[in-house]
C-alpha cells in the first residue's frame, strides 16, 4: 500500500484528530475519506459543466415537463 505524507500545523493536527474522534475514524481514514469525497464531488461537477457546455453548443432544445404534458395531452391548463 502506498503512503502519502502531508504537513499540517500543530493546531490543524489537533483539529483533525478531534474530528477523527468525533466520527469514530482513525486520522488517516478521516483524511482519506473526506479528501476523496471532496475530490470526487469536484470531478463530478466539472464533468457536468463540460457536458452542459457541449449540450448548449450542440443547439439541442430542452422542453419543460409542462410543455411535454401539454403536447401529449396529459395536462390541461
Tell me whether residue 21 is in a domain.
Answer: no
Tell me whether residue 23 is in a domain.
Answer: no
Q: Mean pLDDT throughout 11-15?
A: 97
4 burial (CB, 10 Å; 0-12 / 13-18 / 19+) is exposed
Tell me whether residue 11 is in a domain.
Answer: no
Question: Could you read off the pLDDT of 31-51 as tens digits, one per residue?
Answer: 999 999 999 999 999 999 999
The three-state secondary structure class of 16 is helix
| pLDDT, greater one: 76 or 58 | 58
Tell me whether residue 35 is in a domain.
Answer: yes
| Structural domain harbouring 68 | 28-77
Tell me whether residue 1 is in a domain.
Answer: no
The predicted pLDDT at position 76 comes to: 57
The pTM of the full predicted model, rounded to 2 decimals, is 0.62
Q: Is the pLDDT of residue 58 over 60?
A: yes
Please tell me the total count of domains within the chain: 1
Amino acid at each position: 500500500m502506498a503512503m502519502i505524507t502531508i504537513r499540517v500545523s500543530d493546531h490543524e493536527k489537533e483539529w483533525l484528530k478531534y474530528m477523527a474522534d468525533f466520527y469514530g475514524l482513525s486520522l488517516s481514514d478521516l483524511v482519506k475519506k473526506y479528501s476523496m469525497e471532496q475530490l470526487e464531488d469536484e470531478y463530478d461537477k466539472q464533468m457536468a459543466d463540460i457536458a452542459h457546455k457541449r449540450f448548449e453548443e450542440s443547439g439541442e432544445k430542452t422542453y419543460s415537463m409542462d410543455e411535454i404534458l401539454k403536447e401529449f395531452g396529459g395536462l390541461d391548463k
